[in-house]
Structure 1
């Protein structure tokens, strides 16, 4: 009986006239995440490369014994060394025994050495595969969002969650904001952008403008040179990054779009992520339902997502705090554009601001916490949880009994259970009861791939503090 084509096999035969595929093997017992279709293969999971189809452990201090030399001489010349993959090469991933697992794209400069895209031996990593997955991803959004809302914002492609690791695409009205997080995809960059434009039009949200970017941290981790970054940015179209900001302008570094029935602007050039926080869009609207008539403090307001939604919902006063001058300028512009006069913005460090308000005996009916990612790696989780606890305890200090706490974490390495346990600890230390009204995740356009738990990153808790 023939084995199923997708099952692991040591048979790496190729059709006549084709070269053997490039292969990498995992270290012993390091292959299990990839059998579960996790797409990230770190360099530490890959065995040392040796002869083609195998590995050897390099040890310059050891020399072959006389018996080993005699065996090698009798065996004849050694096979040539295995070909070393280069950036963007398709590579077959095998377990330590040589059984086939998956196929991915290689980056020798990245700690994330191999990104897996195909878990079927019958599916090649080619232009057709990416075109198909892009179309599927944007079609997936139409399951939750109608196509007639063209002035809104939405995430069209979410990297691992849409089986296109290293590509994030957000739509703001008629503009695509494309962010590359994998250097191995850059050789296909213009093609991927064209495919996204075609699929967006097919699914009812045609776009005329494109901003393409790769942020500095990603470039550093992926080994992307400044020249290559400039090339990625040159793929933008319909966007002039030097003109003055004019609402509704078709040639500016700012794009205006509808965000929960508010007119919002995002900075395509210097904004965080792809310019805005579309993952919080539904949470902005839901949290606002609790804000009518309340005095609200929004910590880490960025461009005012929570603050402006609260003001529009009838909050009596809203103060937004952020450490970024540019973000606050954009937040104020958004408030003015929407004629929201009961909201103001102040520049300060989040921890220092909460401490100072406590010292002045200030009180708020609601406090919103939406800090940046505190844990960028697993080793930082404990420190991140301490920072979250400190921030939440400071917020609790400003709330009277019955006050509303909206607290968020976008750290993918901090689990929802860890985050809730942190709140338990914060309540215990402040001798206050925290009653969860809603425990939420990101907006529906940010799906989660169960094989990649890191894609379930956003936690948003709406609670009452007694």
Structure 2
């Protein structure tokens, strides 16, 4: 079957239509009475309830368990190049609600479901773009989407990626390529929190870096003044270097990635934070749990501990395991904190709700007989908006607490 602009109707199982009436964009294969296995990846489909009533319009990938991505909830709207361009323009305008573009800085331009573009993530680093496709069906329109992004930002270069894990789930080949062969060999420099950073668009994680925490880096740094800080899962030093610049007495960064620690050291030198006017800083390569255990056995103490671990829950089946991991990690951190110390603890697991994360901290305090007083209960930067219809987009938690 060739791709057609005429949507193919697919029917849901009985009583499976309610999430989509609330505009949730994901239709899993098990919800469908007609699975569309014979359709081509990228085919436009109309989603019907079991009685045959029109519900929404989307794009199918018969190779994926997340079978249909929904983009339109008005039967009069077509899914075509014009729709993608309009949604991208809306996403760009949404970022400008908080101020004009800073061409030397970085921002998330498109955040998938939150910008009604499920399966597309776009980050801007100064005059370059990192684009990640997480929906195989959307690659049908890859060329016009990338052309529009290049025009909208006068982009010098665009790195396009689909990682191995996503490609496996989507039944496609992974990709990592420069759009139309326009490549850059050197790292891209950009400004964030009054520091100059570098991102490797080809070799970095996701689109090259993590932008969602940048306001949390800045907010938590204020609490670090004069303190001895332990920065666990420090990656390229976002929290620790901001703390050092703000006046932390010392910083110890721990991460399991040697390249990430190399980036942190380079950023330290690039910004002159290794000078005598700043506190001491060191980095340790190792697993976060192993290193925290060693510090505890050595009876080390700190005035502040920052925890920014990777995602522990990739699916709902991993929720209990993730909560146990968060509980263990935070308990070990609390054991290292002096009375009155500051704990900055984060979770990027969308499957772990904010209430579950706070209840985990409550349990840590109970088990360790310590009082945790929340000073700030934060989320991501505003260029990572939350779609009410897709609770999974409310993924990042950053709690700043005092531990008595």
Q: TM-score, normalised on structure 1?
A: 0.83
Q: CA deviation at 1:234?
A: 4.3
Q: Are 1:220 and 2:130 an aligned pair?
A: no
Tell me the equivalent position of 1:132: 86
Q: Are 1:33 and 2:23 an aligned pair?
A: no
Does the CA-based 8 Å contact 1:156-1:170 persist in structure 2?
A: yes
Does the CA-based 8 Å contact 1:135-1:196 persist in structure 2?
A: no
- Which one of the candidate residues 90, 93, 97 is aligned to 1:143? 97
| Cα distance per residue 1:103-133 (max 9 Å; x no partner) | 0000011110000000000000000111111
Gaps of 5+ in 2: 275-279
Tell me the equivalent position of 1:357: 295
Bigger shift: residues 406-415 or 339-348: 339-348
Q: CA deviation at 1:186?
A: 1.1
Q: CA deviation at 1:277?
A: 1.1
2: CA distance between counterparts of 1:291 and 1:21? 56
Does the CA-based 8 Å contact 1:259-1:281 persist in structure 2?
A: yes
1: CA distance between counterparts of 2:338 and 2:81? 58
2: CA distance between counterparts of 1:234 and 1:173? 17
Q: How does 1:13-28 map to 2 (within 5 A)?
A: 21-28=7-14
- Which one of the candidate residues 185, 202, 209 is aligned to 1:276? 209
Q: Are 1:368 and 2:303 an aligned pair?
A: no
Given the superposition, is the C-alpha separation of residues 83 and 441 from structure 1 closer, same or farther in structure 2, using an over 3 Å criterion?
closer
Q: Are 1:210 and 2:143 an aligned pair?
A: no
Does the CA-based 8 Å contact 2:20-2:55 persist in structure 1?
A: yes
Q: Are 1:266 and 2:199 an aligned pair?
A: yes
Bigger-Rg structure (1/2): 1
Tell me the equivalent position of 1:302: 235
Gaps of 5+ in 1: 1-17, 50-81, 201-205, 241-250
Tell me the equivalent position of 1:318: 251
Given the superposition, is the C-alpha separation of residues 19 and 371 from structure 1 closer, same or farther in structure 2, using an over 3 Å criterion?
closer
2: CA distance between counterparts of 1:112 and 1:19? 21
Given the superposition, is the C-alpha separation of residues 297 and 20 from structure 1 closer, same or farther in structure 2, using an over 3 Å criterion?
closer
Q: How does 1:279-294 map to 2 (within 5 A)?
A: 279-294=212-227
Tell me the equivalent position of 2:262: 329
Tell me the equivalent position of 1:235: 179
Q: CA deviation at 1:198?
A: 2.6
- Which one of the candidate residues 253, 257, 261 is aligned to 2:190? 257
| Cα distance per residue 1:337-365 (max 9 Å; x no partner) | 11112222110100001010000000111
Given the superposition, is the C-alpha separation of residues 236 and 177 from structure 1 closer, same or farther in structure 2, using an over 3 Å criterion?
farther
Q: CA deviation at 1:197?
A: 2.4
Where 1:400 maps in the other structure, the secondary structure is: strand
Where 1:301 maps in the other structure, the secondary structure is: coil
Q: CA deviation at 1:236?
A: 5.7
Give the structure with the higher percent strand.
Answer: 2
Tell me the equivalent position of 1:87: 41
| Cα distance per residue 1:395-417 (max 9 Å; x no partner) | 00000110000000000010000
2: CA distance between counterparts of 1:234 and 1:373? 28
Where 1:289 maps in the other structure, the secondary structure is: helix
Tell me the equivalent position of 1:248: none
Q: CA deviation at 1:85?
A: 1.8
Does the CA-based 8 Å contact 1:210-1:237 persist in structure 2?
A: no
Does the CA-based 8 Å contact 2:107-2:125 persist in structure 1?
A: yes
Tell me the equivalent position of 2:33: 47
Where 1:271 maps in the other structure, the secondary structure is: coil
- Which one of the candidate residues 315, 330, 352 is aligned to 1:414? 352
